[in-house]
């Protein structure tokens, strides 16, 4: 298989679709972003990428792409404005988010699921209003990332507490980001395993030795 720089736009798109079908968000984003370098005005790929970035919680990038789709393909993707507003909310831009939610509500009239999204907009706007009130009286909290004995380049997921001091989580323990697709014939795709971590220091203890039920 050639290096990424040697892939054609069609191959990049194919690998992106393959990763998306297998649920590998980050590999899908990687290939679709490279494909988008050739097709940046393709609103289908922009919407697909926006959805992937939203799922990966890359809110700023998702907002940028949803906004492009909203401006250039609103008729085909009317929900782009709703998700754009959600991304603004997630980034703490509450006033702008409220404005976009209300614009979306007006523009979405007549759609078959208008009532569903009208209720969602109401909930989202109430959430923005609540957040604005909360930040007026901030709590004195410190939030920090877990150390690299737990956090790695690939996603950690499904944490389950075993007792007051031990929890188990799933992870792919590789020291750097590696992208896989169905054409990587020379590379064995690794499988996520369960690992243990200990509180209060949140120290990784290595692979869980037993069987989970």
pLDDT tens figures, 100-130: 999 999 999 999 999 999 999 999 999 999 9
Residue 180, classified by CB atoms within 10 Å of its CB into exposed (0-12), middle (13-18) or buried (19+), is middle
Note the pLDDT of residue 167. Answer: 66
Shortest CA distance to 82 belongs to which of 98, 99, 100? 100
Note the pLDDT of residue 205. Answer: 46
Domain ranges in the chain are: 41-134, 157-207
pLDDT category at 57 given cuts 50, 70, 90 is very high
Note the pLDDT of residue 4. Answer: 78
31 torsion bin: left (phi>0), alpha (psi -120 to 50), beta (else): alpha
Give tens-digit pLDDT for 139-178. Answer: 888 877 666 655 655 555 557 777 776 767 666 655 545 5
Per CATH, the homologous superfamily of domain 41-134 is Tetratricopeptide repeat domain (1.25.40.10)
């Amino acid at each position: 298989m050639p290096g990424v720089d040697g892939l054609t736009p069609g191959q990049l798109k194919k690998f992106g679709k393959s990763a998306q079908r297998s649920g590998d968000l980050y590999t899908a984003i990687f290939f679709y972003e490279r494909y988008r370098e050739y097709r940046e005005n393709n609103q289908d790929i922009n919407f697909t990428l926006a959805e992937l970035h939203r799922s990966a919680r890359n809110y700023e990038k998702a907002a940028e792409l949803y906004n492009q789709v909203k401006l250039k393909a609103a008729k085909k993707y009317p929900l782009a404005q709703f998700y754009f507003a959600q991304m603004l909310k997630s980034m703490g831009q509450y006033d702008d988010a409220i404005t976009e939610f209300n614009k979306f509500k007006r523009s979405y009239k007549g759609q078959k699921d208008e009532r569903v999204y009208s209720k969602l907009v109401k909930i989202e706007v109430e959430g923005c209003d609540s957040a604005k009130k909360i930040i007026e009286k901030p709590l004195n909290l410190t939030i920090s990332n877990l150390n690299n004995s737990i956090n790695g380049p690939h996603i950690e997921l499904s944490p389950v507490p075993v007792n007051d001091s031990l929890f188990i989580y799933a992870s792919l323990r590789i020291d750097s980001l590696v992208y896989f697709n169905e054409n990587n014939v020379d590379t064995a795709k690794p499988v996520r395993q369960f690992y243990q971590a200990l509180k209060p220091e949140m120290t990784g203890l290595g692979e869980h030795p037993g069987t989970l039920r």
